[in-house]
Amino acid sequence: MIEPPEKQFTIALAGNPNAGKTSIFNHITGTRQKVGNWPGVTVEKKEGSVWKHGCHLKIIDLPGTYSLTPFSIEEIVARDFILDENPDVVVVIIDSSNLERSLYLATQIRELDCRVVFVLNMADVARTRGIKIDAEKLAELLDLPVVFTVGNKNEGIDDLLEKAIELAESEFTPPQKRKVKYNRDLENAIASVQTMVESSLGDILSYGTRWTAIKLIEDDKIVKERILEKAEEQAQTVFEEAVRQRRLLMERFDEEPEILTTDERYGFIAGIIKEVHTTAIQQRVDISRNIDLVLTNRFVGFPIFILFIWAMFQATFTFGEYPMAWIEILVGGLSSGVNILLPDSLFKDLLLNGIIAGVGSVIIFLPNILILFFCIAIFEDTGYMSRAAFLMDKIMHLIGLHGKSFIPMLMGFGCNVPAIMASRTLESEKDRILTILITPFMSCSAKLPVYIVLAGAFFGARAGTVIFSIYLLGIVLSIITGRVFRSTLLKGADAPFVMELPPYRVPMAKSLMIHMWDRGKIFIKKMGKIILLGSIVVWGLTAFPQHIDYSLDYDTEIQGVIRKYDAYRPVSGSDLQQDIEARRDREVEELKAARAAEKAEQSYMGRIGKLIAPVFSPIGIDWKGGVALLTGFVAKEIVVSTLGVLYAVEDSTEPDALEKALASSNLTPLTAFVMMVFVLLYMPCLATVAAIRRETGSIKWMTFSIVYTTTVAWGVSFIIYQGGRLLGYA
């Protein structure tokens, strides 16, 4: 028996930002894409595959966009995919609680003459607001399938797929009725340009002729560029007719044609709303609005925002302390087991002082990373992230940006790479470049382990507040930098901006856990690749050369100390015996530490450190710290693993071994703080540098970012260190 051929369909998910596209995408495909309750989460299309109802479906999650007239990069990505890739079905995700706004994009997509399914998502939110939508009537009016869903609860998803597959399999003729009917003058202009398009470009144009005519009347630059690429000679005649019709419309209405078409579409939408949309007459308390009266208040909103950020970092440090201790015990047990089981050899030294000391000193911060991302996920999923951007709008205007630019900067607290990618949501190229240049000053999660180990070693109970001050310094310096760049390198007027404030929602526990685990998974993967490799390289540079000419015969000295104290024979178990043993152990540890320090200084790593020491000496950082900072260019976590190798103590199984080793070194609270500041500000990691190169499309801006951030880091560190010395904090 011959099996029927496999049915394959491509389904594109389109819709406004924050309409729930990615939630539906996750439920359909089972993948874990980023889901956030604020605009601009998806800045490039994402793909997933699934078998449903006997069909192989390729699902494309397109970036959120408000229209098909592209201004920002994500709008261009969405429109180009629908036009150029010709998906079998376009599923338009509509926010049921915001029907009028969502229908603008949906109406434009319908004008493309493709197979369309409307999905009325967030039906539960609409019900709680007393909103009723007649889905059958809407389907009848627009001549297309309409489905209700609650994306974050997986309700209605199967119905959506059934309708999409049914539509994909059906014979399809683009509906000519029930589209937007423009006024007589606009229709005449469209018909005139459409006739010219059909006669001059009909054989070579892949887009619908009516849609193309509308876009030319709207002076859509991207459509004009596409036409020029295909038929430059024929295009001129069409463009001339479009310009003539635009001129006639502007003379008649004293308005730009694109404004006229927008008004006509909203008029069409208003008629639909009257037919299908009703609101129950009831006294309803708008909870989101009442909460905003406090959280976005001009006087108390910003202090509350600062309090939330401070509480996040305090919680990260405080609640992470206990699981950190458990992981330290496990790492210590592993180290102890290796020490007992393996004979002394170069391989044992690699395992103990390279891999376990390096990777182990970083992996203990996994709980802190998870807590930080859990808190950020709460901000996103509740809707508070948009409020933070709204609160920062006035401050961002000081540097010629707006609150929307603060969203990528806030994302930078997690990782600078997706934060820089999120700058694609900004319409202005200068705004994008400026945001990309100042985002590395946002302290990413990779820097958090450095802060925790240094703050824990030198600031005790004040560690959380000190870490918060570091993050705050990054924000302040990014604002100052932005003001300087906007006045010099990137001059330009402020872009207009309206920040959408989505309703507050109770975050789903599953969504929060997915966010937290996804970031933790990346952190763990980094342990097995970059951090492991970096630790081995650092160990190799520290362990060689093997033959060192020590200034003392340390083994003889240690044996001499042991014999000296063993000569005493106090009563066993007495206080005197315990005091003698403590003195003996202390002197032995001092000799071992001196031997380790001398070995490190004469190693290849020590020679590199001595070479770069003059650069770091004016800011109070010794050669060990300088080397650690140098390795941090690959990944900031390697700073901790390098310190773990350089400051490795003989008894590395002891909890807080690295913190205790740092606390007993020649570092002071001032130099520790300076080192944290330098880590905050200096050149981004390798992945971030690559992201800057990719997003700006320029090696010039990438190089400028490296040089500028490192110069600022050294300058600010110099001021803090030298100022602290003058004030007596050295």
pLDDT on residue 76: 77
C-alpha dihedral (95, 97, 100, 103), degrees to nearest 10: 20
- Cα 159 to Cα 7, 35, 156, 164: the distances in Å are 18, 22, 5, 9
Distance of CA 215 to the CA centre of its chain: 34
CA–CA separation, 129 and 188 (whole Å): 42
pLDDT tier for residue 321 given thresholds of 50, 70 and 90: confident
pLDDT on residue 495: 54
Average pLDDT of the segment spanning 582-591: 84
pLDDT on residue 113: 80
CA–CA separation, 653 and 498 (whole Å): 55
pLDDT on residue 653: 44
pLDDT tier for residue 127 given thresholds of 50, 70 and 90: confident
pLDDT on residue 270: 84
From 1.10.287.1770, 3.40.190.10, 3.90.1720.10, 1.20.1630.10, which CATH number describes the 184-279 domain? 1.10.287.1770
Span 218-228, pLDDT tens digits: 888 888 888 88
pLDDT on residue 649: 46
Quick check: 32 pLDDT over 60? no
Nearest to 639 by CA among 695, 680, 583: 680
pLDDT on residue 670: 94
Tokens of 390: 């709204």
- Sheet with 7-15, strands from edge to edge, namely 46-52, 55-61, 7-15, 89-95, 116-121, 146-148
Lowest-confidence region among 145-154, 155-164, 384-393: 384-393
Q: Using an 8 Å Cβ cutoff, are 90 and 116 in contact?
A: yes
Which of the pair, 222 or 117, is modelled with greater confidence? Answer: 117
Q: What is the DSSP string of 358-396?
A: HHHHHHTTHHHHHHHHHHHHHHHHHTHHHHHHHHTHHHH
pLDDT on residue 78: 81
pLDDT on residue 1: 41
Mean pLDDT (the chain) is 82
pLDDT on residue 464: 83
Quick check: 49 pLDDT over 80? yes
Which of the pair, 68 or 219, is modelled with greater confidence? Answer: 219
Span 424-450, pLDDT tens digits: 767 678 888 988 999 999 888 889 889
Nearest to 413 by CA among 320, 525, 309: 309
pLDDT on residue 673: 96
Which of the pair, 379 or 207, is modelled with greater confidence? Answer: 379
Quick check: 38 pLDDT over 70? no
CA–CA separation, 520 and 320 (whole Å): 14
Lowest-confidence region among 133-142, 175-184, 559-568: 175-184
Average pLDDT of the segment spanning 659-665: 76
CATH code for residues 7-169: 3.40.50.300
Q: Which long-range contacts (CB under 8 A, 24 or more apart) does 303-306 make?
A: 305/387, 305/388, 305/391
**Is the whole-model pTM more than 0.85?**
no
Most confident of the following: 139-148, 515-524, 527-536, 615-624: 615-624
pLDDT on residue 373: 82
Span 698-723, pLDDT tens digits: 899 999 999 999 999 999 999 999 99
pLDDT on residue 674: 96
The structural domains of the chain, with segments of one domain joined by +, span 7-169, 184-279, 301-487, 549-599
Quick check: 77 pLDDT over 70? yes
Q: What percent of the chain has pLDDT over 70?
A: 90
pLDDT on residue 498: 53
Lowest-confidence region among 48-62, 491-505, 690-704: 491-505
Quick check: 35 pLDDT over 60? no
Which of the pair, 404 or 557, is modelled with greater confidence? Answer: 557
pLDDT on residue 277: 83
Query: Which ranges of 34-98 would DSSP assign to H, the alpha helix?
Result: 73-80
Q: Using an 8 Å Cβ cutoff, are 623 and 616 in contact?
A: yes
Q: Using an 8 Å Cβ cutoff, are 448 and 367 in contact?
A: no
pLDDT on residue 432: 86
Residue in the block written with tokens 């925002």: 305
pLDDT on residue 177: 58
pLDDT on residue 284: 46
pLDDT on residue 7: 82
Average pLDDT of the segment spanning 260-288: 76
Average pLDDT of the segment spanning 474-482: 89
Fold equal for 7-169 and 184-279: no
Span 668-706, pLDDT tens digits: 999 999 999 999 999 988 888 888 988 888 899 999 999
pLDDT on residue 402: 67
What is the helix (H) or strand (E) element at residue 258, kind and residue range?
A: helix 257-276
Q: What percent of the chain has pLDDT over 90?
A: 15
Q: Using an 8 Å Cβ cutoff, are 47 and 391 in contact?
A: no
